[in-house]
Amino acid sequence: MDGRRAIQTLVNAARPEEIVFGHSTTALLQILANAMRSQFAPGDEVIVSIADHESNIGPWDRLKEFGVEVKFWPIDKTSLELRLEDLDALMSERTKLVCVHHVSNILGQVNPIAEYAKFVHERGAKICVDGVAYAPHRAIDVRGWDVDYYVFSLYKCYGTHVAAMYGKYDLLAELDGQYHYSYGKEKVPGKLEPGNPNYELAFSALGIVDYLVGLGGHSGGIGSRRDKLEAAFSAISRQEDALTDRLLSFLDAHNDVRVIGTTTNVKSNRVPTISFKIEGKDSGAFAREMDDYGIAIRFGDFHTRRLIEELREDGGNGVIRVSMVHYNTMEQVDRLCAAITAICGKNVVG
């Protein structure tokens, strides 16, 4: 229970029983889809975002086997944003659920989840949010946003390899159990944790919150643990904004580089997850060349294949991605920029 209470603080849930543990976000969303299946009738609709990680598409897409219609919320090719007018055109009285990411792990843009939730609820549906790419960078506030389900991986935010799902208690109580038949609907959240959660990993969630609370105290935060946690994320976002602005400014000015996503960070609406392509350069080859400079970056589609294909960025081994957090430094960003310049310079000479 201590682990659940820690995640309750982390996400601002109403009670610890609203926290479900699982070994990954992918697994938790598969469990959620299975547990919701009896709530859907043939012809009911689920809307998923084309820009989502496959974790928040695949489990819902497989409901087509049971007669559920799955619709894709498209991304605007110009702004690279999800527009509510496009969602509105898809929703009908048969729409039961909308699934969307808080931050794209390719584009790095923060979506207005509270606005999405209000829009979806006004049309009689529920919302399920993938928070994996958001959770390391900003404070989660499930009650403030009024989301129905929110899922993220603790190993993405300085913890062990385990994941957590928030669900409103009344909604969790309605779900079908995934455990022993003797576990009735009232067995929340245990009925959604087949084989029981890993107790050691669940308990380790305290370390995440203790770290953030301590960071918040050093940053001038006072009051409750939640208050200090919010102060920590305010400090985190200030540092990350500086890192993001430095790298985006460099990449946008570099003729050989094309950023995938917005090239500005207005009002902290971008996290330091930055994807780009190098003109005439295979992304995998570029990442391997970066190894020579002692800098680790990744390439590919990052399990967001549908978005990469939609944007026609799947050639040349996909995109290059730089993922930074608050403990990265300006000096490290400058080293990265120097290495990019050197590699691009070698391409010209060659």
- Does some domain include residue 217? no
Transcribe 168-191 into DSSP letters. Answer: -HHHHHHSPPSS-TT--TTSTTGG
Q: Are 149 and 171 in contact (CB under 8 A)?
A: yes
Per-residue pLDDT tens listing for the chain (350 residues):
889 999 999 999 999 999 999 999 999 999 999 999 999 999 999 999 999 999 999 999 999 999 999 999 999 999 999 999 999 999 999 999 999 999 999 999 999 999 999 999 999 999 999 999 999 999 999 999 999 999 999 999 999 999 999 999 999 999 999 887 777 777 899 899 888 888 888 899 999 999 999 999 988 888 999 999 999 999 999 999 999 999 999 999 988 899 999 999 999 999 999 999 998 899 999 999 999 999 999 999 999 999 999 999 999 999 999 999 999 999 999 999 999 999 987 654 33
Q: One-letter amino acid identity for 343?
A: I
Q: Is 295 left (phi over 0), alpha (psi -120 to 50) or beta?
A: beta
- Does some domain include residue 175? yes
Q: Are 172 and 151 in contact (CB under 8 A)?
A: no
Q: How high does pLDDT run on average in the chain?
A: 94
Q: Model-level pTM?
A: 0.95
Same domain, 230 and 298: yes
- Does some domain include residue 216? no
d(CA 301, CA 132): 16
d(CA 108, CA 195): 35
Same domain, 200 and 242: no
Paired strand residues for 150: 129, 166
Of 153, 188, 211, the position where a domain reaches its end is 211
Domains held by the chain: number: 2
Same domain, 13 and 122: yes
Same domain, 49 and 198: yes
Same domain, 173 and 46: yes
Q: Residues 75-120: pLDDT tens digits?
A: 999 999 999 999 999 999 999 999 999 999 999 999 999 999 999 9
Q: What is the dihedral of CA 114, 163, 179, 124, to 10 degrees?
A: 10
Same domain, 37 and 86: yes
Q: Residues 125-135: pLDDT tens digits?
A: 999 999 999 99
